[in-house]
Structure formats: structure tokens, C-alpha cells
């Protein structure tokens, strides 16, 4: 790591997904080179590196899923495919000179506060010291596989959607997918026409919305290449559009919510078979779980070689999946599109604070932070995408930019020697979390469904207000919420 001038803090960023890359770029923009980015994978891109399943596509329009300072004329469709997004983040890491700061295949095991600094222990046995740690670990990191009795007896092949095994041939096979979240819905659309027989095992149906998943004409891409501000403008328009339509509805606007509800219902009404439609009809409010975006799913699941299985899975046997109605669903390949350990921010890692407290114990009743970013008792540890970040169908790039800007306020102060450590006051953190819990009562996310927004106590751990409000809240730190030491 570059030693830098005397006051320049040493910073370790954990994770080289979209927020880790962003954090690194912002540090370089401010002339700070005393940082390292530790990434457990072998390249940048986070979830967009790990997920390679057929049909992988982003449910947020591509220009809104770009950094505001790096508009991308190249997007081929209104919504980008997974590999395009991975390439975009690789491009950003290269263009902004992050390569020398990246350490791949470097898994962090322990972060310990000792002697007024952080010690970071990685799996390779190395220890690093840092003044500041920024965790950019993301939610969609650790795949969650179902624990179904008899899986070990299955004679076919199986894997999780986030660890796609491209050596397994699917064409002409009997394929089963477990789950009906965004991943499963996209996989269904991509696989039905390739396989001999397709079974989708549904526990809970999803509300599904159609959108403009269409290619962008060459003339428009050419124009945006020549005049990059146009691509940037498109991003801003798409973001405002999403915020106007989605965010206001999800955060409580009845008028926009009823539009969202009727659009989802109209989409569902396209299912011709009344029995199938009944099975596909959710019994919870639109938006309680993340709304799935697909233009093709309902068509795919109505194909003659596709079936929707709604009887609960009893166990797995050598030949396939046995459901509670006694039926054996014979399969050659089984795919678990069963999601991620989204609320387990510090899985496989021990973080020890200033008084020897283990963050896992501190968070035993659910993860809490001040403004999603700082944790009382853990000085100079910042999180991008921490607990209660705004998640419901909003562009994550904008959220990360807001949080990185907020963290940069503190890093600048530390760099200038104004302060040495910054810690959230416990009272401020408690007050903030109580305010969030109260505000979340009665929201759509609290309206009764199982979703990956819920913490271990079954409470929604997201931000209850609009992204606009979040940007306002995080415009600059309220320093009365922090303890700062200068010696």
C-alpha cells in the first residue's frame, strides 16, 4: 500500500463489487492512494461476476444502473444483460486506474480493533493495519441452498443459480427449478424452449411487472457515444421515472400504488388457464416482496413442456423431487434459485470492536447501524449497503453513490487531520433505528409476506422513505450523532 503523506489515512475496502469499485474511484478522485481493495473473488463485479445463469438481466434500466459520472452509450438494450454489467464495472475499474489497488482471491476472515487501528486478517495468513475500513460486501453474496431431505441421493446434477455449472448440458433434459424470485423467473424464460421438460417448484408466487425490455437502436447508441451527456441524461430520466413510479408507491403513496397494483394484475390476467392463474396469484400486497420484472415468464410457463408445481416438496429421491401429493417429478438437473443470505452482512467473518465486542453478538437481535453506515463501538468502520439501506426495486448504483459521498465527508476530515476517529453515538444509533422501526410499521414491506428484506426477527430491515429523502438525509453528516477524537 502507498504510504502517502503523514496524515493520509490507510484504508482497506472489502469487496470489489459496484460499491467497492465506486469507493476506490472516489478515493483516487480526491488524491488518496493509500488504500487497498480486498476481494475474495477472482475479478471485479460482485454479484454480476458470480451470477452467469441463462437469461440474467438487470431489472433496473441500464442507464440508471450506471455510475452518474460514467455514462455508458454501449448498453445494447433498455435493460442490460448480466455480462454487459460485469464488463461495465471491469471497464470502470480499468479506466479509473484501480488495478494496482485490487487484491483478488483475498478473503477477509477477521477485522479487529486494536491499538487505535484496525487489523485485517485474510485467509492467506497476512495481516494488514488500516486507519479506516469500508465494508462494501453487498447482499447477494452467499447463496442460500434449501435443506431438502434426500438431496444426497439425487442421481442427476444440481447447483445454485448463483454458481451456474456451465459444464452441465440442459438441452433436451428434464430440468427443475426451485424458487420463484427474480432469478428463477429469468431462468424459466431462458430455459423452457431449450429443455425437454421444465418444472418450476413454487412456494410463493411473485407479482410480476412488464417493462421496456427492448434493444436500443444503433443510431441512439451512436448519438450517445458522440454526446455522452445524452447517456447521462437518460440515466437521470430513468432514475426519476423509477422513483416516481416505484419508490413513491412502495413508500406509501396510495395513488401510485394503485397504478402499480393494476399494472401487475393486468399482466397476471394474461394467463389464460384459470387454474394456472389461480396458482400464480400472490396472496400478499404488491411490493411486499421485491417485484419481479419479466415480459416473458407467463408465456414460458404456459408452454406445453412446462409445469408449475405448487404442492410442497416432501423430499428428493434418486430420480427427482417427490411432492406431498405423492407425485414424483423426474428430473435430470435440479437448479436452486433459492436466493441469498441477504441479511447476514458479516457471514464467515469476525469483527471485533473497540472493547472486544463481537459484532455478531452486538447484532444478535438484528443488524443495526447509524444511517446504514456507522456502528456504535466500531470507530472508523463504514458500510456501503449496511442495514436499512433503501432496497425496494431502486437502482443500487445511486444508493451507493449517496453512501460513498457521505463516507467521504469523514475520510476528508481524517485526511486533513481534523479528527482521527469517528464513531456513531449509541444513543443516536438507537434513536435512528427506533425511528425506522416505527416508520416501517404499516408499510408494504411489513404487510405480511416472507421476503429477503426481513431480518432474523422477521422485521423489514430497509429504509421506509423515498430515495429522494435518503439523499437528503445523507447530504452531509449531522456531527452531533458522532463521537470524534482528534488525538
Binding positions for ligand N01, rule: CB under 6 A: 57-59, 140, 146, 161, 178-184, 186, 203-204, 290, 337-339, 450, 452
CB of 339 to ligand N01, least distance (A): 3
CB of 446 to ligand N01, least distance (A): 16
Closest CA to 387 of 457, 477, 476, 453: 453
CB of 84 to ligand N01, least distance (A): 12
Tally of CB atoms within 10 A around 222: 11
Considering beta carbons, is residue 114 or 165 the nearer one to ligand N01? 165
Considering beta carbons, is residue 204 or 245 the nearer one to ligand N01? 204
Considering beta carbons, is residue 11 or 313 the nearer one to ligand N01? 313
CB of 79 to ligand N01, least distance (A): 8
CB of 385 to ligand N01, least distance (A): 12
Considering beta carbons, is residue 231 or 313 the nearer one to ligand N01? 313
CB of 204 to ligand N01, least distance (A): 3
Find the residue with minimal CB distance to ligand N01: 181
Considering beta carbons, is residue 164 or 357 the nearer one to ligand N01? 164
CB of 398 to ligand N01, least distance (A): 14
Considering beta carbons, is residue 58 or 195 the nearer one to ligand N01? 58
Considering beta carbons, is residue 36 or 344 the nearer one to ligand N01? 344
The owner of cell 441524461 is: 233
Considering beta carbons, is residue 58 or 428 the nearer one to ligand N01? 58
CB of 391 to ligand N01, least distance (A): 8
Considering beta carbons, is residue 181 or 287 the nearer one to ligand N01? 181
CB of 59 to ligand N01, least distance (A): 4
Amino acid at each position: 500500500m502507498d504510504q502517502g503523506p503523514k496524515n493520509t489515512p490507510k484504508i482497506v475496502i472489502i469487496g470489489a463489487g459496484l460499491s467497492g469499485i465506486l469507493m476506490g474511484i472516489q478515493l483516487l478522485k480526491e488524491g488518496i492512494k493509500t488504500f487497498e481493495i480486498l476481494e475474495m473473488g477472482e475479478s471485479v463485479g460482485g454479484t454480476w461476476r458470480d451470477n452467469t445463469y441463462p437469461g440474467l438481466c438487470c431489472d433496473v434500466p441500464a442507464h440508471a444502473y450506471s455510475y452518474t459520472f460514467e455514462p455508458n452509450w454501449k448498453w445494447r438494450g433498455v435493460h442490460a444483460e448480466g455480462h454487459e454489467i460485469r464488463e461495465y464495472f471491469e471497464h470502470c475499474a480499468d479506466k479509473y486506474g484501480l488495478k494496482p489497488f485490487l487484491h483478488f482471491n483475498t478473503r477477509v476472515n477477521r477485522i479487529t480493533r486494536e491499538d487505535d487501528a484496525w487489523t485485517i486478517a485474510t485467509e492467506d495468513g497476512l495481516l494488514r493495519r488500516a486507519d479506516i475500513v469500508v465494508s462494501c460486501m453487498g447482499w447477494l453474496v452467499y447463496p442460500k441452498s434449501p435443506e431438502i431431505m434426500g438431496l444426497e441421493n439425487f442421481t442427476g446434477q444440481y447447483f445454485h443459480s448463483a454458481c451456474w455449472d456451465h459444464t452441465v448440458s440442459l438441452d433436451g433434459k428434464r430440468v427443475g427449478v426451485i424458487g420463484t424470485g427474480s432469478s428463477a423467473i429469468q431462468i424459466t424464460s431462458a430455459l423452457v424452449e431449450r429443455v425437454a421438460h421444465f418444472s418450476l417448484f413454487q412456494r410463493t408466487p411473485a407479482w410480476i411487472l412488464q417493462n421496456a425490455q427492448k434493444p436500443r437502436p444503433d443510431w441512439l447508441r451512436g448519438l450517445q457515444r458522440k454526446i455522452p451527456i445524452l447517456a447521462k441524461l437518460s440515466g437521470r430520466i430513468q432514475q426519476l421515472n423509477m422513483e416516481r413510479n416505484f419508490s413513491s408507491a412502495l413508500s406509501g403513496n396510495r395513488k401510485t400504488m394503485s397504478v402499480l397494483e393494476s399494472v401487475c394484475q393486468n399482466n397476471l390476467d394474461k394467463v389464460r388457464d384459470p387454474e394456472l392463474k389461480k396458482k400464480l396469484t400472490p396472496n400478499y400486497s404488491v411490493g411486499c416482496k421485491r417485484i419481479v420484472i419479466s415480459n416473458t415468464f407467463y408465456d414460458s410457463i404456459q408452454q406445453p413442456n412446462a409445469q408449475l408445481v405448487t404442492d410442497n416438496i416432501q423430499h428428493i429421491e434418486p430420480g427427482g423431487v417427490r411432492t406431498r401429493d405423492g407425485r414424483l417429478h423426474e428430473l435430470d438437473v435440479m437448479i436452486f434459485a433459492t436466493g441469498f443470505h441477504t441479511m447476514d452482512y458479516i457471514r464467515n467473518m469476525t469483527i471485533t470492536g473497540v472493547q472486544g465486542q463481537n459484532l455478531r453478538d452486538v447484532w444478535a437481535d438484528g443488524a443495526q447501524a447509524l444511517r446504514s453506515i456507522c456502528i456504535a463501538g466500531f470507530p472508523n468502520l463504514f458500510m456501503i449497503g449496511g442495514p436499512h439501506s433503501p432496497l425496494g426495486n431502486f437502482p443500487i448504483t445511486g444508493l451507493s453513490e449517496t453512501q460513498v459521498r457521505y463516507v467521504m465527508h469523514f475520510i476528508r476530515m481524517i485526511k486533513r487531520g481534523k479528527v482521527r476517529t469517528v464513531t456513531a453515538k449509541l444513543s443516536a444509533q438507537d434513536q435512528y433505528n427506533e425511528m425506522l422501526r416505527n416508520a416501517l410499521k404499516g408499510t408494504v414491506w411489513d404487510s405480511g409476506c416472507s421476503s429477503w428484506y426481513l431480518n432474523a426477527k422477521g422485521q423489514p430491515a430497509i429504509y421506509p422513505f423515498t430515495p429522494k429523502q435518503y439523499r437528503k438525509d445523507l447530504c452531509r453528516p449531522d456531527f452531533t450523532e458522532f463521537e470524534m477524537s482528534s488525538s
